[in-house]
Amino acid sequence: MKKFNIKKQFPLIAIIRGVLPEDVVRIAHILIDEGFTMVEVPLNSPDALNSIKRLVDEFITDKNTQYYVGAGTVTTAQKAKDVIATGANLMVTPNMNKEVIKLSVAAGCATFPGIVTPTEAFDALEAGATGIKIFPVSALGLDGFKALNSVLPKGTLCFPVGGIDPTVESMKPYIDLGAQGFGLGSALYKPTMSDDEIRKSAKAFFATFNTLVNA
């Protein structure tokens, strides 16, 4: 499986929590049409492994491997193994579990464990994590994120998650402090949203992020 290259990805992870298997491919196509390349189905969504397998079958092929699709809320080694069995290539967790990270990395998954302290961050990187998910970013705030990022190895991929919306005011302060991307939840997708609302939200996030990083 290919090595993750942040320069070839649009670094916003679409978190489609609560999605149903019968809707997941259609919704992912909307997001991908608007420029997203990473889609996460949290395991506390209905029949999540079914949804993930459908995404794998739709988007990961020998001819089409630029997308990363997989699971979020992967909290145990067994859950990681279940996700790996679907053929997923993206693993996101809310916590720092070295066994989960090592299993995911060995399977060739882009792996973003959730951390909130320097100890967790360094342990995650030592275990081979692709990058770190700053979660919940509200627990650190801007000052905490600045302090954390100042001690991390240069080039560490940091993705704040939690409460990010598609506005300059929400995203710019973190980008200015070194965030390379974000994980996006309910501001991007909720099961109650129409397809048009999802597309509008995806367009807004894409436009704001691109404007900020290309300014």
- Give the model's pLDDT for residue 65: 66
pLDDT at residue 171 above 80? Answer: yes
Please state the rounded mean pLDDT for residues 169-173: 98
Task: Say if 26 falls within a structural domain.
Answer: yes
- Give the model's pLDDT for residue 6: 79
HSE (side-chain half, CA atoms, 13 Å) at 177: 22
Please state the rounded mean pLDDT for residues 187-204: 98
Task: Say if 2 falls within a structural domain.
Answer: no
The answer, as to whether pTM is greater than 0.75, is yes
pLDDT per position as a tens digit, 29-47: 999 999 999 999 999 999 9
pLDDT band of residue 1 (cuts 50, 70, 90) is: low
- Give the model's pLDDT for residue 70: 98
| Residue of 22, 126, 133, 190 marked active site | 133
Number of structural domains the chain divides into: 1
Task: Say if 209 falls within a structural domain.
Answer: yes
Tell me which residue range forms the domain holding 103.
Answer: 8-213
Task: Say if 121 falls within a structural domain.
Answer: yes
Nearest 5°: the CA angle 30, 133, 15 is 20
| Residue of 40, 63, 81, 169 marked active site | 40
Q: Specify whether the CB–CB gap between 71 and 41 falls below 8 A.
A: yes
Task: Say if 150 falls within a structural domain.
Answer: yes
Tell whether the torsion through CA atoms of 205, 206, 207 and 208 is positive or negative.
positive
Please state the rounded mean pLDDT for residues 100-116: 97
- Give the model's pLDDT for residue 2: 63
Task: Say if 1 falls within a structural domain.
Answer: no
- Residue 89: give its domain's CATH number: 3.20.20.70
Task: Say if 192 falls within a structural domain.
Answer: yes
pLDDT per position as a tens digit, 44-84: 999 999 999 999 999 997 655 689 999 999 999 999 999 99
Does residue 99 have an active-site annotation? Answer: no
Please state the rounded mean pLDDT for residues 80-108: 97
Task: Say if 103 falls within a structural domain.
Answer: yes
* 3-class DSSP assignment, residue 107: coil
Distances (CA, A) of 213 to 10, 47, 193: 11, 36, 28
Does residue 133 have an active-site annotation? Answer: yes
